[in-house]
């Protein structure tokens, strides 16, 4: 399988345009036309990850944290040189995987056995667009199907979403034009106005689909970004505490299920026997989401809380570790690659530099 085909498959579950603007995701090292049969997945591309790829004969490493984050102006990093020397490509899926429908956080919820209710925040790097197009009456279905096939019309867990209403369009064909319905002077035509939502990542494909199926020489359409986000995506999750576990039991759950030997519980005025009804979770660094979590939940499980973030928190916190809250996604990435027909190995948890840190 060529790397570019793998990237196309990735667009299906973690579109790269969902990543935050400051992020660096996708193919970071390698040639998109390279053939791959074996891959290694890991959280960080460290020495052990590269050595493992060499050892098992993998042509690709898929990581969560980007190997290259800031702009570089020379290639002297021994890890990069080693990758290039051995012809090993690197794909990183970072914040696009954090906010995707099946996200780092969904995998974390599954690991903890928690039932998800909603997203914690709808923040993504994606822009959502309202799109309006006019279509002659007889061509509505054909154009609408092409638009849906391009990925437009997705709202939360529903696809094929659109609205259409009958309108009367007018036009006058100028010299050099080739109108669908020919006539003199200002013409009237029975049309539909077709409206739908489309993600920025699908906008180009949608316009292409319109150009390929619309009967007009110059289809009339416009689109504009909206200020709300597609509920299909978001950062962090709010879960139900179905099993009625107390704060101290939840701390133990993080230890057992995430294999963090010492998750830290900050009670912030609550008793360790307190049973939260709703639990907010966010893999990685969740400190900036504490105030949102406070509005939607009674406990927040994440990593990397700073002294002042903890100090100002209005709800109890469990710092289960940046590494440990995100590591479960390494298994998920391997499963996705196996579904594509590739052989995929994981870099074991205790082989990561982040585990022993
Ligand atoms: Zn992450
Ligand atoms: Zn992270």
- Tens of pLDDT, residues 64-114: 999 999 889 999 999 999 999 999 999 999 999 999 988 999 999 999 999
- pLDDT of residue 356 exceeding 80: no
Distance 327 CA to ligand 2 centre (A): 9
Residues 6+ apart with CB under 8 A from 293: 120, 236, 280, 282, 286, 300, 315
**128-226: which CATH architecture?**
2-Layer Sandwich (3.30)
Ranges of each domain in the chain: 3-93+328-356, 99-123+234-325, 128-226
Q: Same CATH topology for 3-93+328-356 and 99-123+234-325?
A: yes
What is the pLDDT at residue 174?
95
Instruction: Compute the distance between CA of residue 138 and CA of residue 190 in angstroms, rounded to an integer.
Output: 9
- pLDDT of residue 341 exceeding 90: yes
- Tens of pLDDT, residues 28-43: 999 999 999 999 999 9
- In whole numbers, what is the pLDDT of the chain averaged over residues? 95
The 10 Å Cβ neighbour count of residue 237 is 26
Distance 208 CA to ligand 1 centre (A): 33
Distance 93 CA to ligand 1 centre (A): 9
- pLDDT of residue 124 exceeding 80: no
The 10 Å Cβ neighbour count of residue 57 is 11
What is the pLDDT at residue 237?
97
8 Å CB contact between 66 and 119: no
Ligand nearest to the CA of 99: 1
Distance 26 CA to ligand 2 centre (A): 16
Q: Which fold has domain 3-93+328-356?
A: 3.40.1390
- pLDDT of residue 257 exceeding 80: yes
Distance 326 CA to ligand 1 centre (A): 6
Place of tokens 């009958």: 166
Pick the CATH number of 99-123+234-325 from 3.40.50.2300, 3.40.1390.30, 3.30.1360.120, 3.20.140.10: 3.40.1390.30
Distance 41 CA to ligand 2 centre (A): 14
Distance 120 CA to ligand 2 centre (A): 17
Distance 12 CA to ligand 2 centre (A): 22
- The 3-class SS string of 28-50 reads EECCCCCECCEEEEECCCCHHHH
Distance 124 CA to ligand 1 centre (A): 12
Ligand nearest to the CA of 333: 1
Distance 98 CA to ligand 1 centre (A): 5
Distance 322 CA to ligand 2 centre (A): 6
Distance 321 CA to ligand 2 centre (A): 10
Residue 157 banded pLDDT, cuts 50, 70, 90:
confident
Backbone angles phi, psi at 238, to 5 degrees: -110, 130
- pLDDT of residue 229 exceeding 90: no
The 10 Å Cβ neighbour count of residue 9 is 16
Ligand nearest to the CA of 324: 2
Alpha carbon dihedral 45, 51, 53, 55, in 10-degree steps, equals -170
pTM: 0.85
Distance 94 CA to ligand 1 centre (A): 6
What is the pLDDT at residue 12?
86
Average pLDDT over residues 168-190: 94
In this predicted structure, which of 1-10, 148-157, 210-219 has the lowest mean pLDDT? 148-157
Percent of the chain past pLDDT 90, that is, above it, reads 90
How many alpha carbons lie under 13 Å from residue 2 in its C-beta half-sphere? 7
Distance 64 CA to ligand 2 centre (A): 7
Average pLDDT over residues 285-297: 96
Average pLDDT over residues 122-130: 86
Residue 17 banded pLDDT, cuts 50, 70, 90:
confident
What is the pLDDT at residue 201?
82
Sign of CA dihedral 205, 146, 10, 83: negative
Residues 6+ apart with CB under 8 A from 137: 166, 190, 191, 192
Distance 357 CA to ligand 2 centre (A): 14
Ligand nearest to the CA of 329: 1
Residue 247 banded pLDDT, cuts 50, 70, 90:
very high
Percent of the chain past pLDDT 70, that is, above it, reads 100
Distance 135 CA to ligand 1 centre (A): 42
199: left (phi over 0), alpha (psi -120 to 50) or beta: beta
What is the pLDDT at residue 86?
97
Residue 292 banded pLDDT, cuts 50, 70, 90:
very high
What is the pLDDT at residue 126?
80
Residue 214 banded pLDDT, cuts 50, 70, 90:
very high
Distance 99 CA to ligand 1 centre (A): 9
Residue 205 CA: distances (Å) to CA of 43, 100, 198, 259: 31, 19, 10, 43
Ligand nearest to the CA of 283: 1
Distance 346 CA to ligand 2 centre (A): 17
Longest CA–CA separation in the chain, Å? 81
Q: Which residue has better confidence, 277 or 71?
A: 277
Chain length of the chain: 357
- What helix, strand, coil percent values describe the chain, rounded to 5? 35, 25, 40
The encoded tokens of residue 214 equal 């619309």
Distance 264 CA to ligand 1 centre (A): 20
Distance 201 CA to ligand 2 centre (A): 23
């Amino acid at each position: 399988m060529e790397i570019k085909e793998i990237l196309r498959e990735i667009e299906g579950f973690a579109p790269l345009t969902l990543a935050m603007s400051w992020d660096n995701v996708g193919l970071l090292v390698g040639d998109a036309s390279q053939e791959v049969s074996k891959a290694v997945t890991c959280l960080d591309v460290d020495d052990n990850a590269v050595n493992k790829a060499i050892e098992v004969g993998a042509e690709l490493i898929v990581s969560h944290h980007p190997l290259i984050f800031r702009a570089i102006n020379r290639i002297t990093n021994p890890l990069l040189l080693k990758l290039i020397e051995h012809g090993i490509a690197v794909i990183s899926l970072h914040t696009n995987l954090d906010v995707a429908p099946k996200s780092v956080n969904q995998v974390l919820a599954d690991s903890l056995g928690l039932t998800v209710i909603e997203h914690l925040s709808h923040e993504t790097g994606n822009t959502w667009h309202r799109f309006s197009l006019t279509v002659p009456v007889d061509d509505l279905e054909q154009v609408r199907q092409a638009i849906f096939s391009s990925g437009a019309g997705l709202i939360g867990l529903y696809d094929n979403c659109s609205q259409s209403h009958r309108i009367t369009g007018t036009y006058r064909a100028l010299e050099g034009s080739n109108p669908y319905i020919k006539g003199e002077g200002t013409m009237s035509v029975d049309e539909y106005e077709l409206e739908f939502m489309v993600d920025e990542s699908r906008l180009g494909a949608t316009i292409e689909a319109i150009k390929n199926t619309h009967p007009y020489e110059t289809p009339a359409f416009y689109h504009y970004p909206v200020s709300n986000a597609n509920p299909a995506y978001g950062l962090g999750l709010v879960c139900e505490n179905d099993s009625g576990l107390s704060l101290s039991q939840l701390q133990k759950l993080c230890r057992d299920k995430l294999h963090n030997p010492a998750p830290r519980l900050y009670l912030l005025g609550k008793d360790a026997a307190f049973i939260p009804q709703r639990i907010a979770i966010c893999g990685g660094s969740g400190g900036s989401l504490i105030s949102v979590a406070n509005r939607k939940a009674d406990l927040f499980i994440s990593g990397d809380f700073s002294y002042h973030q903890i100090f100002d928190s209005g709800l109890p916190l469990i710092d289960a570790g940046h590494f440990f809250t995100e590591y479960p996604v390494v298994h998920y990435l391997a499963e996705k690659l196996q579904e594509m027909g590739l052989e995929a190995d994981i870099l074991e948890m205790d082989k990561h530099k982040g585990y022993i840190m």
